[in-house]
């Protein structure tokens, strides 16, 4: 088992990564002082629940906890105020109190949703993250929780740190391969913004990662979480530095808005977005290898590196500009200056992005 | 104009109390660094809006701000997730961004609701309180914001401190007399828990307060806010001390639940509740004058000091026990030990409360 700490003074918490952790959940929650007198509310979805809920419930009961559960439909549409309200109703029905905790068992959707319940219920109760996707190594660390509004993603939310994050590598075995690849995009992102060595390691271990080799996967998630933890420790509420975590996301979000989710998953969209950002970096003076190595790292785990041609560039630009409206009127870009180093720029001209989007479609390889 | 500060380190903020402040709102917001580039969202209700919204909007515009407004129906039922969501929709439509602020213009309902929007939108934007009821001297200070669930009041919320509180005494002139009295209950509460001198002052100035004499009212609100600010500065998120602000509220909430709002307003219910708590205090050893002076102070401003007989004691006890369910299984009572001093007790037996509720009905005066 690997362990690391997110340092946030009195809100610091550990991340445990390893095999078989689900069956140790009871012990770990006891160790962290969660109350056995007050009910625990487990939130999960209808794909993860059938696989792991019974096991989690039994281990918690064996340790003397009193867990109840609420299962939401799998998928982004559960991150809504309606589902949020039904979980609050459940919490009231089972008498969740100030000493209770909410436990998220699932991917980023469940984590964000359950986390927002924990942030809001009685103005905040304790929260435990049990991530079951690779992407959720990102979403379960850092305390950003939210639900969506029909017109904007993650617009209703809070910063609410968990008490602990419990990452059982065994649960990742049931992940569809496309979810594996999509999650690896964020792992590689953490290398690209912070740690050149780790990017090299990902290249060398791409095969093992795709095969979910527990040793490789454990290390990769440990490194990914470490970068996220380091950034969040310095800038919990995104006053500055934390924005570097958005590498590839400005273009990525626009692509997600224009393509359907089935065509481009989040990790796939930001893979293309990170390649676009690398192009931008080169254009602004970074060495060409920044682009080449970004492209290589993502390609090696089977992520898309070019943009489907039928996605309309004007619509992508519109989606970008829509985002801009909420960022104080400026296009904000995270731009790599080297592998493992980025800067935040707000002087990016939309013509440059237009050209890059076109280029992302046209060329198999840019160089 | 009186000014005081709520000390919460980097979240400290001023409270301004005085006449004609609404027309100075633009200046004060500029002084506190609110952005004229990003839209401001004013939330008000359909009683307060017609009286003061135009004036607020003009002064803000004159200072270069770009205010937009959203009017909700007056009354507690607006503190709902539905209304919350429609305000978020409005915020998105007008392009509220991270530098924007939400302004609450109204009583505690508008303050709690708008404050929760400010807490949740983009995980938190700036917030300004412009309270227009006497009760709101309590609700506008301290950062507790929330909406209700059909099954529980204030169950969905956050701690989100305002940037400033702007209390224009002129706006209080349009308050119905019953709202005036109800608000004075919380003013007197602040004396009873913290400041014997001030209780005496309230006795001596009851007439002037009821007549909304600006000098007396300004002083009373200043003192009330000072007590609230002192308590909140020591215990922002209610880990301990802050609970003393609930004097009279355990019984009061139960009375509210059993009587209709029309029969007992919040201030009226806690007036009776505070008298019950004083009885409890005497029973536990406080001098009888604690009861007598509590009763006298509340009676002098026309608040009820006995309980309508037709309210069923068993139902009141049930409502109390229901509250208990959410307080880790114990009845928690704030009990006066002297005028201006209270302690928090969790060893109160329900039979004692039963007897006190009965007594609150039977006797014109206890002694
Ligand atoms: N809070 C943050 O900082 C942050 C960061 C990044 C992303 N996010 C959010 O995360 C969400 C995406 O997360 P996600 O990709 O994990 O999505 P997800 O939770 O929807 O999971 C993807 C799919 O995999 C299924 N699944 C999950 N675990 C499984 C398992 N072990 N075996 C089989 N199937 C499993 C789910 O049921 C779902 O169908 C988005 O809503 C995004 O906004 C949040
Ligand atoms: N956040 C906190 O710490 C806290 C503390 C105490 C109470 N509260 C909340 O405050 C709410 C009660 O506040 P309230 O009593 O101010 O209720 P309110 O906001 O409903 O106002 C009472 C009535 O007076 C009207 N009104 C307001 N200002 C007026 C004015 N200047 N002239 C004429 N009419 C006016 C309103 O339209 C409403 O009809 C409750 O929801 C309670 O939960 C919150
Ligand atoms: Zn992402
Ligand atoms: Zn009150």
Radius of gyration of chain A (CA): 20
Domain extent for B169: 2-174
Q: How far is CA B141 from the centre of its chain?
A: 8
Q: Which residues of A touch B85 (CB under 8 A)?
A: 81, 149
How many angstroms does the Cα of residue A166 sit away from the middle of ligand 2?
Answer: 44
Query: Does residue B144 have a known ligand-binding role?
Result: yes
Distance CA B176, CA B161 (A): 28
For residues B283 and B316, state if they share a domain.
Answer: yes
**CA A200/CA A339 separation, integer angstroms:** 10
Contact between residue B57 and residue B67 where contact means Cβ atoms under 8 Å apart: yes
* H-helix or E-strand spanning residue B42: strand B40-45
Strands A144-149 and A152-159: antiparallel
Answer whether residue B282 is part of any domain. Answer: yes
To the question of whether residue B20 is assigned a binding role by annotation, the answer is no
Residue A335's DSSP bridge partners are A343
Return phi, psi of residue A59, to 5°. Answer: -65, -35
Looking at the structure, do residues A82 and A124 belong to the same domain, yes or no? Answer: yes
For residue B73, pLDDT beyond 60: yes
State residue B204's pLDDT score. Answer: 98
Among candidate residues A174, A196, A215, the one where a domain is terminated: A174
Span B248-258, pLDDT tens digits: 999 999 999 89
- Shortest Cα distance, chain B CAs vs residue A97, angstroms: 5
Q: How close, in Å, is residue A7 to chain B by CA atoms?
A: 20
DSSP assignments along A246-290, one per residue = GTTHHHHHHHHHHS-TTTS-HHHHHHHHHHHHHHHHHHTT--HHH
Do B89 and B6 reside in the same domain of the chain?
Answer: yes
Return the closest-CA partner of residue B117 out of B102, B128, B130. Answer: B102
Residue A335 has a pLDDT of 97
Q: Nearest-CA neighbor of A148 among B164, B54, B92, B16?
A: B92
Angle between helix A177-194 and A196-204 (nearest 10): 150
Distance of alpha carbon A305 from alpha carbon A296, whole angstroms: 9
Contact A38, A96 (CB under 8 A): yes
Residues A40 and A134 occupy one common structural domain: yes
Phi, psi of B212 (to 5 degrees): 55, 30
Beta carbons within 10 angstroms of residue A101's beta carbon: 24
* Residue B95 and residue B206 in one domain: no
Alpha helix (H) residue ranges in chain B: 25-31, 48-62, 81-93, 108-120, 136-139, 177-194, 196-204, 206-210, 214-234, 249-258, 266-283, 288-300, 313-325, 350-362
Q: Give yes or no: B163 in active site.
A: no
Angle at A254 between CA A43 and CA A159, to 5 degrees: 40
The rounded Å distance from CA B253 to ligand 4 centre is: 9
Task: Establish if A367 belongs to a structural domain.
Answer: no
For the domain that residue B43 is a member of, what is the CATH number?
Answer: 3.40.50.1970
Q: Is residue A110 part of a domain?
A: yes
Provide the token pair at B241.
């001390």
Final residue before a domain boundary, out of A174, A204, A231: A174
CA distances from B85 to A75, B81, B159 (A): 21, 6, 19
Question: Is the pLDDT score of B328 beyond 90?
Answer: no
> pLDDT (tens digit, 0 to 9) for every residue of chain A, 367 residues total?
999 999 999 999 999 999 999 999 999 999 999 999 999 999 999 999 999 999 999 999 999 999 999 999 999 999 999 999 999 999 999 999 999 999 999 999 999 999 999 999 999 999 999 999 999 999 999 999 999 999 888 999 999 999 999 999 999 999 999 999 999 999 999 999 999 999 999 999 999 999 999 999 999 999 999 999 999 999 999 888 999 999 999 999 999 989 977 789 999 999 999 999 999 999 999 999 999 999 999 999 999 999 999 999 999 999 888 766 555 567 889 999 999 999 999 899 989 999 999 999 986 655 5
**Predicted ipTM?**
0.94
């Amino acid at each position: 088992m690997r362990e690391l700490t997110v340092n946030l003074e009195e809100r610091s918490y550990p991340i445990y990564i390893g095999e078989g952790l689900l069956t140790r959940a009871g012990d770990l929650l006891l160790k962290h002082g969660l109350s056995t007198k007050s009910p625990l509310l487990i939130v999960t979805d209808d794909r993860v629940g059938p696989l792991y809920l019974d096991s989690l419930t039994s281990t918690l009961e064996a340790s003397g906890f009193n867990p109840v559960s609420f299962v939401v439909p799998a998928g982004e549409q559960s991150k809504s105020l309606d589902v949020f309200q039904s979980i609050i109703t459940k919490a009231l029905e089972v008498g969740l109190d100030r000493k209770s905790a909410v436990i998220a068992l699932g991917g980023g959707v469940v984590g964000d949703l359950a986390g927002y319940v924990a942030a809001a219920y009685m103005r905040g109760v304790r929260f435990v993250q049990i991530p079951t996707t690779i992407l959720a190594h990102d979403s379960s660390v850092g305390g950003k929780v939210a639900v969506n509004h029909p017109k904007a993603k993650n617009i209703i939310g809070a910063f609410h740190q968990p008490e602990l994050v419990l990452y059982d590598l065994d649960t990742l075995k049931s992940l569809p391969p496309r979810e594996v690849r999509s999650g690896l995009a964020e792992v590689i992102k953490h290398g690209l913004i912070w740690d050149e060595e780790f990017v090299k390691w990902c290249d060398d271990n791409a095969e093992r990662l795709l095969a979910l080799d527990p040793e490789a996967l454990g290390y990769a998630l440990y490194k990914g979480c470490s970068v996220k933890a380091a950034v969040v420790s310095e800038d919990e509420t995104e006053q500055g530095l934390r924005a570097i975590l958005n590498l590839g996301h400005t273009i990525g979000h626009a692509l997600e808005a224009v393509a359907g989710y089935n065509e481009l998953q989040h990790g796939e969209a930001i893979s293309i977005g990170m390649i676009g950002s690398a192009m931008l970096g080169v254009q602004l003076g970074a060495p060409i290898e920044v682009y080449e190595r970004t492209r290589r790292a993502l390609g090696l785990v089977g992520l898309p590196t070019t943009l489907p041609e039928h996605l309309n560039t004007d619509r992508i630009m519109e989606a970008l500009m829509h985002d801009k409206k909420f960022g104080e009127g400026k296009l904000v870009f995270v731009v790599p200056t080297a592998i493992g180093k980025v800067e935040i720029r707000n002087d990016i001209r939309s013509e440059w992005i237009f050209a890059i989007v076109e280029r992302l479609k046209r060329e198999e390889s840019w160089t």
